[in-house]
Structure 1
Amino acid sequence: MEGRILGGRYELLEKIGGGGMALVYKAKCRLLNRFVAVKLLRPEFTTDEEFVKRFRVEAQAAASLSHPNIVSIYDVGQEDDLHYIVMEYVNGITLKEYIMQKGVLNWKEAVNIVIQICSAIEHAHKNHIVHRDIKPHNILLTKDGVAKVTDFGIARAVTSSTITVAGNAIGSVHYFSPEQARGGFSDEKSDLYSLGIVLYELVTGRVPFNGESPVAVALKHIQDIPQEPINLKPDIPQGVNDIIMIAIEKDQKNRYQSATEMLEDLYKVLKNPDMEINSGNGENVYDSPTVRMPSIGEKKAFVEDKESEKTGDNTMKKKKRKDKTTTVLAILTSVVVIALITFMIGYIIWPALTPPDEYVVKDYTGMNYYQVKAELENNKIAVEPKRVNDEKMDKDLVISQDVPPGTKLVRGGYSKVVLTVSDGPVLVEIEDFANMDYRAVEKKIEDLGLKPEVVEEYSDDVPVGLVIRTEPGEGEKVKLGKKIWIYKSLGPEIKMTKVPDLIGKTRAEAINLLEESKLTLGKIYPEDKTNTVDRIVKQEPKAGESINEGKSVDIYLEEFEVTEQKEKIVKRTIALTDPDMYVEFISVSVTIIRSDTGEEEQLYDEIKRKTDFPLTLSIPVPKDGSTHVKVYLNSELFTEFTEEY
């Protein structure tokens, strides 16, 4: 699947995980230029309508949630037979992997992680979504220690009334609640039970119930009383111990009734670790054992018997005491004899007659090391891992074993199985190559056994030829031979545009055309515009030339000759009669009709501020003739008049 592009934008780079329903790939979104995680429904389920329906429910449920401790959903789609969900890519590890690395967590660190998970669960519950598969495998930890809940693959709305789909109980056997084990109604309190099991494992390094089969573990959830964490790790504060025991109560009524309640106690215990925390759900039934109360008639007879005893003779009392002593001695003797016989049969005779308890070794190749380890240790067989890098086997899968399948080993003896376990392919950590020469970075990446590919990109901050960034970026680990994109700076982007044709246009028209071409108006010639008409006769640069955006264009206005004999210039001032009627900027347009031509001409067309008034107009008037003038403000006729010579 690596290299395939889904939806025309998501390029699958490498497989990073998988579960019972789906496979997860790291991918790159070509549209938004970022890394994402793509979850693909396993091929064997694409023909199963029920599984497809559950896969879609995951997207619908998670997409409605927005919380910093919940993995975000970006997109959902289908291509051919592939159903997929695009979600936030979290650069980190699962909480299960973190537990395996550290073994047992400090109680404060554990509580802080669980507070984040509980906060996410609280948000989901308020949106009527029950996760129903809370476990360390479904919690991601970022490099900054932020916990994010993922995989709402079996979540349903609270209104659902069962936890079975297609006849199978949903959830993970070591973490699901008694009601899930029974296939009964599950609600928000089921998630809190699972969260209690997670906290139990964080502070003790083990889950409370284990067994040879999933059914055995499920029965223990229903029937067995778990050992209190404080008995396994005496340094656990009493408050933490109490929170765990309340959360994993078998009866839903005795658990926390909401994630908010559990959050409150988690915050309290950070401040006062040794405080005792009670569930607050009624009396403890163990403090009030069931007793039989005699009826009224029985009580009367009981009193009469007592009175009769007091009036009996001393001889009868002595005889009764002697008989009682004899009976007690006989019972004690019988108990001792039975205990001795039981000991001899159980520890001396029976072991000698019974053959040793044996375990048959299986073929563990390709199985998860931690599952194999748990199975062997549950059968009292020692396990020794031998870690090696392997390009073909995913991390934590068993490559080989020193004891052949079918071999019989004695449970509890000195038997040991050495497992060769994959550490996955050799990974190379990417350095910080920003602001380095791209050719030097190419060489370094090649020396690391990776494949560089240069991508050119404009940048306002990074000089030409230096590296803007790499993908994958600093701190990320990749397999040998993987492609690394080097983004080389081209410097600031310079965009070109064509100069529009301004000849014959007015100054206002020229400004609009220049703005559309992302240019500005430069100088206006002649500088003395007294003897000019608002009509452009020349421009620099010329129309059609390509220049940089933001540059200016100079214009030349049409000039007319003024002679004393032919015409004169009359100055006329235009003042606003009521300035309050106008906004700050006013469009001023002046047209004239001279008697010698009889044609309408544009004398003036500009945008002026209200403070520029009064304006002085220079009006040409032909000799022995007249000029009719019309003044428009904001396209409305303001005044008109005639000047004569």
Structure 2
Amino acid sequence: MVIDNRYTIDARIARGGMATVYLAHDQRLDRPVALKVMHPYLAESVDFVQRFRREARAAARILHPGVVSVYDQGVIHGQGYLVMELVDGTTLRSLLTAQGTFTVEQALRYTCDVLEALRAAHRVGVIHRDIKPENVLVPTEGTVKVTDFGLARAASEVSMSTTGSMLGTVAYVAPEVASSNTADARTDLYAAGIMLVEMITGRIPWAGESPLQIAHHHVSDDVPLPSAEVDWLPREIDDLVAALTARDPNERLGSAQDAIDATQRVIAAIPDDIAQRRADRPESTMPSTGTKTTAIVVDTLTANLPAQIQTTSQAVVHASGATSAVATEGKGRRRRAPKIIAALIILIIVASLGGWWWWSEYGPGSYLTMPETTGRSTTAVQSDLQAMGLGVVIEEEFSDDVPKGKIITSDPEGGAPVHKRADVRLVSSKGVDMKVVPDVVGQTRQQATTALTDAGLVLGNVAEEYSEDVKSGHVISQKVKAKSSVPHDTSIDIVLSKGREPIGVPKIVGTEASAAKKTLEDLGLVASSSEAFSDTVPEGTIISQEPEAATTLHRGDTVSYVVSKGPELVTVPNVVGKQRDEAISILEAAGLKVEVHNVLGGVFGTSRYTDPDAGTSVRKGSTIALYVV
């Protein structure tokens, strides 16, 4: 049987609880593969195919030497199938059954290998849910491999939705799965811890009890420590098992990486004599505790035997009565001759027709030559193929090199032979993958990077400038305008704000007012002046400033300063004819000092004149001579 015009079934390898595994040959890539076909009961659920495809895609994302690779997936007659890596070796279950127990070093090494595979799966969001020896393969060379990622979840969802029961192996089921059917990465670590116990002691915890009792123990009791079975085991083994199998997931090791680190510390701490020691084989083997999933492995490749062709010779020669026997036989032969000839003619015709049928259906006559495809118009190639009677499956992909509407590649390729009833897969170019540039102005650098990544673009050069309007660390501008359509490999340059530009205040005290104003405005500062009289600072010169020199401001901030108006002048008031005391009061009220000079003794006390004369402008505080008669 050929699946999907590609995979030839050679032999059945095994049958498990969820699927039957076949040895198959990939005609396209010319390699042996394991083909796992899900059982029909799983296909009865309308949701199973979608779940199966989703989980298969998730499992295919796991790229790790310790994980059995998923090559392809599909559906045949309503049953999902997986095409997987064919592993030459055995299962951990078979090896454990053969040996009974492993050395401490061997058990820890296998545990570490399984945890490495789980770490790779957990990083891409895939939880196994069914870790057990049947799902761990031991190749003839290299590290062990874990298989059936994602399948347990798809099958369990179907089982829960159809029967309300949980699909899984109860010996390795975590308490949270048994009680509420919830699972996360720590669920796989629990099962790995149970496997470690089994590999060292040769028995699963609570062996011999019913599945229901075992499930109850997982929920209600701590896993018995290995040293209870094997008294010479060091405490490090017990501590590792306890950390992996804590009933409360929050008390378990938090991740596969944490479990790897803990296991490696135990390996380093155990003495060599203990590491190479093995527990005695238990008297009884482990009972079946749940639904088993057959591993993809070839212990002995079994080919289909050709049908036996049995021939029976009935020609017997008798010693007596030879003459009559020959005569009778001769007459019989003459009577049978026409029938034999007719039979031979019919046989020749049938053989000819059969040969022609084989030649035209499976032989050289059943093959056509593919037309050239690469670089040609998709419509033209499709027309050529349909004219040849071939089926056409068109897929579209973006291409930086092949123009839109042209063929990127085909399977088979142009010029290659193709069966006349085959479907040809054409990959048509959608042209360059164009992306719409998002608007990142005003965003932080991290936000801009995320927005560009989500849009399928990358961040280019990042320049920095001061900005009075945009906060520090936010995008001022972008090189390519938002909502523009650009090729997917275009890098988008941006300018980030360094915040407001700091400006040091210059010293302007003692400088000429107009020059100081220009200096401040050239720096982007606002000049605010006032005036005051000064007896010491020349007119038009800066007396003081606020803030002081060397203070840090920003563009648009104000610097206030006081400009000297020179000395303050007053006009000498006219006090002629005034009595001495009144005249003195008037002059002092004007801000002047008074020096009195009595003329002829100043008998009358009347002001005669002043020096300087009345009406003269003098500095405020000047001394005025008052002459009194």
Q: Name the TM tier (shorter chain).
A: 0.3 to 0.5
Higher RCO structure (Cα 8 Å, ≥6 apart): 2
Choose between structure 1 and 2: higher strand proportion: 1
Q: Give the TM-score, by structure 2 length.
A: 0.42
Larger-Rg structure:
2
Q: Give the TM-score, by structure 1 length.
A: 0.41
